[in-house]
Amino acid sequence: MDKVLIRELKIETVIGVYEWEKVIQQTLLVDLDMAWDNQKPAASDDYQHALCYETVSKRIIALISERPIELIETVAEMIANCVMTEFNVTWLKVKVMKPGAVPMAQAVGVEIERGQA
Ligand SMILES: Nc1nc2c(c(=O)[nH]1)N=C([C@H](O)[C@@H](O)CO)CN2
């Protein structure tokens, strides 16, 4: 299966369940694997046929920064819904990491897969 990938997309946003987290910005790192037929854009060398990782990245940052969110599970689900409906992606894997949330761990996070390949 062909994919378009985004790695360690950095999002600064209000995220967390505790009161002290609702008044600060924290960093999330997002990895995204999106099923996409890359043969068509490659054969034509035509951007119109490509899934633009830059457009997707900017949309995700705008979406997740627009309001406070408590759970990183919610972030993952919002990204999946947005990318599948707005960019016609039929399968994706989303990983959301929250570095620094648990001092003893480098990062903690969640991963979801949605759709059919
Ligand atoms: N499964 C989850 N567990 C926890 C989350 C979360 O979003 N998903 N969030 C927190 C707190 O916000 C934490 O990050 C503060 O350090 C705790 N557990």
Q: Is the CB of 17 under 6 A from ligand 1?
A: yes
Q: Is the CB of 24 under 6 A from ligand 1?
A: no
| Domain spans, the chain | 3-115
Length of the chain: 117
Helical residues (DSSP H) of 1-117, grouped into ranges: 39-44, 53-65, 72-86
Confidence of residue 100 (pLDDT cuts 50, 70, 90): confident
In tens, the pLDDT along 2-49 reads 999 999 999 999 999 999 999 999 999 999 999 999 999 999 999 999
Whether CATH 3.20.20.70 fits 3-115: no
Verify whether residue 40 is a known catalytic residue.
no
**Which residue owns the Cα nearest ligand 1 atom 16?**
101
Indicate the pTM of the whole model.
0.97
Give the Å distance between the CA of 109 and the centre of ligand 1: 9
- For 12, the enclosing helix (H) or strand (E) is strand 3-13
Instruction: Express as a percent the part of the chain with pLDDT over 90.
Output: 98
**Which residue owns the Cα nearest ligand 1 atom 17?**
17
